[in-house]
A and B are shown apart, each in its own frame.
Chain A
Amino acid sequence: MTFTNLFSQFLSGLTYGMMLFLVASGLSLIFGVMNILNFAHATLWLIGAYFCYSFWSLMQDYTFALWVSIPLAALACAGVGWVTEVVLIKRIYKRELHEQLLITYALALIFADAIKIIWGPTDRLIVRPPIIQKPVFIFGAPFDSYFIFVILTGFAVAIGLWWFLKYTRYGHIVKAAVYSREMVGALGIPVPRIYTWVFTLGIFIAGLAGGVQSAIGSVTLGMDTAIVIQAFCVVVIGGFGSLAGTFAGSLIVGEVFSFAILYWPDGAMVLIFVITALILIIRPWGLFGTPLRA
């Protein structure tokens, strides 16, 4: 195993990790603030990918089609998320854990079938613009040039969220809500409205991630079922509601997966769950979380 090979493996782990981060950051945000574990998160991510494909196919004669489609997909997804929150999620804030889980589980089923109805069962493939068709060579090893974009998007979202949480008024409210919703409400902040926007923001990021995903390979039905559980693993490892934790968790899962698949391809996925289970047993609140709400 040469350095070059190791490095390119590291990069592909980083790409995978950043994709997981894009999915998991919204999941973690929604759980941290609203205490709702969203089973439908990855299905909305997949809807984002299909949206991106649709927008792209409308504009496919232009080279900028993909770059415009990705943010449009994120916005469209945010719209779906907003409607979902206002129509349904709002009704289950105060309900029990199993009811909340069942509702988002049901949403995952409904959205998955909605995708089938709207886009049909055929795989969708976006033809990449010329700039990302050829691989780049890093230390002599070929590397998908689009992956650079994936990694940069992951970092950009991480920095954007960090800036939002640290320096904006709404970010402060969101962070406060992670610790104590009651206190935030007592200070006269309309918590339900904050919830709606946090949910919408989470789904916006999921849609963005879906848009980014759509140009990696073909978009197919059922892509969501595996990644939602991996995103749960990321959030568990990092700690619910912690941005830094989600980032670290994504890197851990991405890199562990990427390297494990070299040496023990069948066990890579199993290893992720073993790590997740270990974290839950030793530190249920995750690497960066706080045990406040255990």
Chain B
Amino acid sequence: MKKFSLAFVLFVLAAILPFVVPEFWVHVVNEVLILGLFAVSFNLIFGYMGQLSFGHAAYYGVGAYTTGLLMVKAKWPFLLCLPASMVTAGIAALVLGLFCVRLRGIYFAILTMAFGQLVFYVVFQWYSFTGGDNGLQGIAPPPYLFNVTVYYLFTLAVVTVAMIVLRYITESPFGYTLRAIRDNAERTEFIGINVQRYMLLNFVIGGMFAGLAGALWGPFNRSVAPDLCGWQHSGQPVFMAVLGGPHNFLGPMIGSLIYIFLNAFVTGFTEYWPLVSGLVIILVVLLMPGGLFGMIKAKGYFEPGKSPSEAADRATVRDSEHG
């Protein structure tokens, strides 16, 4: 109940936001929502399934390009592009995920990254179709969403619905099966669960919602570029999840909030954002494993039933790469 109420408070705050803050911050929070959804979709694979995808941006990019191409070249209405992006990103995740779910640990991370770069180079080189490194320009939201505040509220609505669906998925028996796979894949296999099939299904769901987030990005940014699929972009949701706490449903969204606000703040007075973000990543990884929620949990604020040490153990002891 407590977690639900936190989500509700955040939603209400987000909904009244555009009426109290300047447009710039509405823009920033819009970015928080889109990348937050991206990070939450990534966390299905990372926090819930226990595998590190270092190529999740590929599915985000496929979604962004699907919407961009459909809107610019085929003149599809934006609202139809959203489900279309989920479908194409889902198909991409299905085809590539088929191979990824056979691997674990570092090999999973590298294969997802290799596939991510594969998508990146296809987009990057295929000038006639994707515009290559020029990207796609002039992706305008439809007239009824053109206003910054209206587009923001639309994004909020889509992201909220997506988050409710994702929450439902992670709390379903399917979600608990994923946790079982994360904690002990072998034992899960022994009780008769087809681990690879569950992992693949989850990979596809993660890809679809990343695609949805990508679809929201194009019209928000007015353009898409191949960088959206690249490995640097894949690092973002990893950090957002780690920052907020991968073992909490809202963790990656909170991570996105901190990350994007920090970005908006830092880029205000220095061009060396990568340097600052790098330092922040190092500090967070060294000083607060388990992320923000992990820290709160370790101090025992959130779950009165659990002893702080037990919660801390859960936050730090995960299947290591030696497994």
Contacts and interface: CB of A to CB of B under 8 A. Distances in A.
Interface of A: 35, 37, 88, 91-92, 95-99, 101-103, 105-110, 112-114, 116-117, 225, 229, 232-233, 236, 266-267, 269-270, 273-274, 276-277, 280-281, 284, 293-294
Interface residues of B, number: 45
Contacts of B321: 35, 96-97
Interface string B223-250: 0000000111001001100100000000
B117 interface: yes
B275 A110 contact: yes
B158 interface: no
Closest 10 CB pairs of A and B: A113-B275, A109-B278, A106-B281, A110-B278, A273-B118, A106-B278, A109-B274, A266-B125, A97-B321, A269-B121
A108 B231 CA distance: 12
Contacts of B274: 109-110, 112-113
A236 B318 CA distance: 25
B161 interface: no
Contacts of B135: none
Contacts of A114: 275
B102 A97 contact: no
Contact of B281 (A37, A102, A117, A236): A102
A113 B318 CA distance: 33
B266 to A, nearest CB: 12
A266 B128 CA distance: 11
A281 B111 contact: yes
A99 B243 CA distance: 11
A106 to B, nearest CB: 4
B190 to A, nearest CB: 20
Contacts of A266: 125-127
Contacts of B231: 225, 229
Given A106-B278, A266-B126, A270-B118, A95 B109 contact: no
B232 A277 contact: no
Nearest to A229: B117
Contacts of A103: 281-282, 285-286
B320 A280 contact: no
| Chain B at the A interface: SS class | helix
A97 B106 contact: yes
Interface of B: 46, 52, 54, 99, 102-103, 105-107, 109-111, 113-115, 117-118, 121-122, 124-127, 230-232, 235, 238-239, 242, 272, 274-275, 277-279, 281-282, 285-286, 289, 318, 320-322
B116 to A, nearest CB: 9
27 contacts: A35-B106, A88-B282, A91-B286, A92-B286, A97-B52, A97-B106, A97-B320, A102-B242, A102-B285, A103-B282, A103-B285, A105-B281, A106-B277, A109-B274, A109-B275, A110-B279, A112-B274, A225-B230, A225-B232, A232-B110, A232-B113, A236-B110, A273-B117, A280-B103, A280-B107, A280-B114, A284-B107
Contacts of B99: 277, 280-281
A269 B232 contact: no
B142 to A, nearest CB: 33
B125 A267 contact: yes
B114 A277 contact: yes
A269 B238 CA distance: 25
A105 B318 CA distance: 21
B125 A113 contact: no
Contacts of B322: 293
Contacts of A284: 103, 107
B54 to A, nearest CB: 7
A182 to B, nearest CB: 10
- Of the listed residues B103, B114, B272, B289, the one surrounded by the most CB atoms of chain A closer than 10 A to its CB is B114
Contacts of B52: 97-98, 101
Contacts of A229: 113, 117, 231
B135 to A, nearest CB: 17
Contacts of B272: 113, 116-117
Nearest to A99: B285
Contacts of A95: 285, 289
A3 to B, nearest CB: 30
- Of the listed residues A116, A229, A294, the one surrounded by the most CB atoms of chain B closer than 10 A to its CB is A229
Contacts of B289: 95, 99
B275 A102 contact: no
B238 A98 contact: yes
Nearest to B236: A105
Nearest to A280: B111
Contacts of B122: 270
Given A113-B274, A267-B125, A98 B242 contact: yes
A105 B235 contact: yes
A20 B142 CA distance: 47
Contacts of A281: 99, 102, 111
Nearest to B239: A102
A277 B232 CA distance: 19
B105 to A, nearest CB: 6
